[in-house]
Amino acid sequence: MRVVVAGGSGFLGSHLCEALLRRGDSVCCLDDFSSGPAANTDPLLPLTGFDRIPCDVTARFQVPGDVDAVVHLASPASPYDYRRHPLRTLAAGSRGTENLLELALRHHARFVLASTSEIYGDPQVHPQDEDYWGHVNPVGPRSVYDEAKRFAEALTTAYRRAEGADAGIVRIFNTYGPRMRAHDGRVVSTFVRQALAGEPLTVFGDGGQTRSFCYVDDLVEGLMAMLDSDLPGPFNLGNPNERTVRELAELVLRITGSNAELRRQPLPVDDPVRRRPVIARARAALGWTPRVPLEDGLRRTVAWFATRSYESDTCGALSE
């Protein structure tokens, strides 16, 4: 296939581009490099079958040649990014989603929307399966990301029903691994960066809130399984092994050998207390299940971070 990966230079997108190329697909990466550095896909530029088009998917863009599939990963995804750039985040979920759906429709191509566990908000049902409608504050500080993805799901579903688009949705839970930006505000990258620097680890609240962490290689396999299907979803993609934030901090300290302390900070507004996916549907329909244990994935992630210089990992400037 020739696959268009929007947001292909980002953390997830760059891993997906590599995996698609390894199996013999050709890839057209679309990215404005606002939250995914060009360096993530620079090594792919000499490879046969890889193209990269700098563009903003919320504006006009063109993809020459055939298109067999489109994967929409183009959005600010870290708390640091979407709180700084709320209008760009909303545009990525609305105009960006529609532009990419129209691209897929013109080429009779498969379309996969990368949605998020954030559509469940601070859930009142635990664990979360795909039938849960969520508990989201539409005007809270996280709303621009939550509601952008919820709208993107509605739009994708409408295109499937009204236009016959071959469109599907996956809901991605916390994912980690090499190429995360050290200063993106996510808990794994923050803990690893702080531990390697010998700084106190910032723990919000009492650290008893839970997350479920999926290694990036496992997540990419789920994306590719969805890409190869014709199913609508939505399917949860995540590791159902639930850990507290405090447990994660202690594990990072043990792996890095750091003696750093834990520094408590107030829990952010609307921060989810518990988060764990039910993945029975993805297992049954896609044959997908995560395989990498958290400790193994963290060791790979720490090893990657230890080789990097990350005093500044900011990407291109965004304007509202």
Averaged pLDDT of the chain: 94
Express each pLDDT in 226-252 by its tens digit: 999 999 999 999 999 999 999 999 999
Express each pLDDT in 46-71 by its tens digit: 999 999 999 999 999 999 999 999 99
CB 189 within 8 A of CB 181: yes
| pLDDT grade for 258, boundaries at 50, 70 and 90 | very high
What pLDDT is stored for residue 312 in this prediction?
Answer: 47
Q: What is the pTM of this model?
A: 0.94
Helix 216-227, helix 11-22: angle, nearest 10: 60
Task: Convert the chain into a string of H (helix), E (strand) and C (coil).
Answer: CEEEEECCCCHHHHHHHHHHHHCCCEEEEEECCCCCCHHHCHHHCCCCCEEEEECCCCCCCCCCCCCCEEEECCCCCCHHHHHHCHHHHHHHHHHHHHHHHHHHHHCCCEEEEEEEHHHHECCCCCCECCCCCCECCCCCCCHHHHHHHHHHHHHHHHHHHHHCCCEEEEEECCEECCCCCCCCCCHHHHHHHHHHHCCCEEEECCCCCEEECEEHHHHHHHHHHHHCCCCCCCEEECCCCEEEHHHHHHHHHHHHCCCCCEEEECCCCCCCCCCCECCHHHHHHHCCCCCCCHHHHHHHHHHHHHCCCCCCCCCCCCCC
What pLDDT is stored for residue 313 in this prediction?
Answer: 56
- Rg (alpha carbons) of the chain, rounded to whole number: 19
| pLDDT grade for 316, boundaries at 50, 70 and 90 | very low
State the average pLDDT over residues 168-179.
Answer: 97
CB 17 within 8 A of CB 27: yes
CB 218 within 8 A of CB 280: no
What pLDDT is stored for residue 131 in this prediction?
Answer: 97
Catalytic residue among 120, 145, 159, 215: 145
d(CA 101, CA 103): 5
d(CA 194, CA 233): 38
| pLDDT grade for 268, boundaries at 50, 70 and 90 | confident
Strands 242-244 and 210-212, by their bridges, are antiparallel
What pLDDT is stored for residue 102 in this prediction?
Answer: 98
What pLDDT is stored for residue 78 in this prediction?
Answer: 84
Residue 245 or 80, more confident? 245
Residue 274 has pLDDT above 80, yes or no: yes
Length of the chain: 320
Residue 318 has pLDDT above 80, yes or no: no
Give, in order, the Cα–Cα distances in Å from 150 to each of 212, 214, 282.
Answer: 21, 22, 20
Residue 317 has pLDDT above 90, yes or no: no
Half-sphere exposure (CA, 13 Å, Cβ side) for 169? 21
Residue 182 has pLDDT above 80, yes or no: yes
What pLDDT is stored for residue 310 in this prediction?
Answer: 58
Q: Name which CATH class applies to 2-178+214-240+276-290.
A: alpha beta
Domain ranges of the chain: 2-178+214-240+276-290
Express each pLDDT in 111-131 by its tens digit: 999 999 999 999 999 999 999
Express each pLDDT in 4-49 by its tens digit: 999 999 999 999 999 999 999 999 999 999 989 999 999 999 999 9
Active-site residue flag, 145 = yes
What residues have CB less than 8 Å from 93, skipping those under 6 apart? Answer: 75, 147, 148, 149, 151, 152
Residue 276 has pLDDT above 50, yes or no: yes
Residue 197 has pLDDT above 50, yes or no: yes
| pLDDT grade for 319, boundaries at 50, 70 and 90 | very low
